Amino acid sequence: MFEAFLEIARQLNLLGITPLLMGSLGFEVRTSKDWQAGDIDIHVPGDSRGWEAPDEERLYHWEEIAEMMENLGYRLVDIHEHEFQRGHLSVEYGVMDTLPEFAGISLISLEKIHTDGVVYYLPTLEQYLKIYQASSKDSYRANRNNRKDFKKISYLQKYLKADRRKCVDI
Model pLDDT for residues 66-84, shown as the tens digit of each residue: 999 999 999 999 999 999 9
Please, which residues have CB within 8 angstroms of residue 55's CB and are 6 or more apart in sequence? 79, 80, 82
pLDDT tens per residue across span 24-44: 999 999 999 998 899 999 999
Tell me whether residue 114 is in a domain.
Answer: yes
Give how far Cα 105 sits from Cα of 38, 99, 129, 151, Å.
25, 6, 11, 21
Q: Is 161 exposed, middle or buried (0-12, 13-18, 19+ CB in 10 A)?
A: exposed
Tell me whether residue 137 is in a domain.
Answer: no
pLDDT at position 168, please? Answer: 37
Confidence band of 144 (pLDDT split at 50, 70, 90): low
Tell me whether residue 110 is in a domain.
Answer: yes
Which residues are bridge partners to 107 per DSSP? none
Sheet holding 118-122, edge to edge: 75-78, 83-86, 89-95, 40-44, 20-22, 118-122, 111-115
Range of the domain at 56: 2-124
Confidence band of 151 (pLDDT split at 50, 70, 90): confident
The CATH number for 11's domain is: 3.30.460.40
Residue 23 in contact with residue 72, Cβ under 8 Å?
no
Which residues are bridge partners to 114 per DSSP? 119
pLDDT at position 141, please? Answer: 47
pTM for the whole thing?
0.87
- Count the domains in the chain: 1
Tell me whether residue 164 is in a domain.
Answer: no
Alpha carbons within 13 angstroms on the beta-carbon side of residue 99 total: 27
Tell me whether residue 112 is in a domain.
Answer: yes
Cα gap 75→66, rounded to integer Å: 9
pLDDT at position 163, please? Answer: 60
